[in-house]
Amino acid sequence: MMHNFQSGSSADNFARQRRRLLDEIADDAAMTAIDTGRSAFSGKVMAALGSVDRHRFVSDEQIYSAYANHPLPIGHGQTISQPYIVALMTDLLDLEKTDRVLEIGTGSGYQAAVLSELVEHVYSVEIVAALGERARAKLNDLGYTNVSVKIGDGWEGWPEHAPYDAIIVTAAPEEIPPALVQQLKPGGKIVIPLGSIFGAQELVLATKYPDGGIVTRRLLPVSFVPFTGGN
């Protein structure tokens, strides 16, 4: 059998870069523990980050930056979040294998793939049709069968599959969309960047009480693309 040295060596290379990235994420987690309340992310979350091929979700021009710990452009003026932020937001949701999670802002599909390793099903809404369709095809090609992508305005959530155990928003609105609070189970968590287009943004963790009210905690400054659509 012919040995394809080229592809074998680049696969090893990506695997090595991914392991180094996990070390950087662990260092960042320790450094931000005072803000986030977590000095390390769970083994499950780190394993999920270690198993998703981030280089498959970026464009060919970005492929050699795929494992750098910073955001990357994904076209249409949008970005795939910094891996440390993906890890942090995922960890904050304290996900269980039986959970059904809603994501607003599918983008490249990378965050959805990470979530899909940890839960029963991921429902993800993307407002830019071309991005949503590309992510859906990509996730399908890579065998992520427990992710559904809808093209639409995430301001309305995805009511057909509610209630969700957890919700993650990866674009920044000025306030938590009320539909998302409605579509969250009591006891469930939302992680969301909040801020104005020109002002500072903060990553916020909100928990829903059985009476429907929410308590929010501001964690740390972040920089996400703006939430567009009907808010």
Interaction of residue 81 with ligand SAH, rule CB under 6 A: yes
Is residue 81 annotated as a catalytic residue, yes or no? yes
Structure tokens that stand for 5 in this block? 């040295």
Region from 19-27, 39-47, 127-135, 213-221 binding ligand SAH, contact rule CB under 6 A: 127-135
Interaction of residue 78 with ligand SAH, rule CB under 6 A: yes
Interaction of residue 90 with ligand SAH, rule CB under 6 A: no
Choice between 9 and 51, CB closer to ligand SAH: 51
Distance from CA of residue 36 to its chain's centroid? 17
What is the identity of the amino acid at 50?
G
CB of 5 to ligand SAH, least distance (A): 32
**Binder among 101, 104, 122, 139 for ligand SAH (CB under 6 A):** 104
Residues 15 to 74 in contact with ligand SAH, rule: CB under 6 A:
74
- What is the number of other CB atoms lying within 10 angstroms of the CB of residue 32? 16
- What is the number of other CB atoms lying within 10 angstroms of the CB of residue 208? 21
Distance from CA of residue 94 to its chain's centroid? 14
3-state secondary structure 110-159: HHHHHHHCCCCEEEEEECCHHHHHHHHHHHHHCCCCCEEEEECCHHHCCH
Is 66 within 8 Å of 14 (Cβ atoms)? yes
Residues 163 to 192 in contact with ligand SAH, rule: CB under 6 A:
170-171
Is 147 within 8 Å of 172 (Cβ atoms)? no
Interaction of residue 84 with ligand SAH, rule CB under 6 A: no
Region from 15-23, 100-108, 137-145, 200-208 binding ligand SAH, contact rule CB under 6 A: 100-108
Write out the residues near ligand SAH by the rule CB under 6 A.
Answer: 74, 78-81, 104-105, 107-108, 110-111, 125-128, 131, 153-155, 170-171, 225, 227-229
Catalytic residue ranges: 81
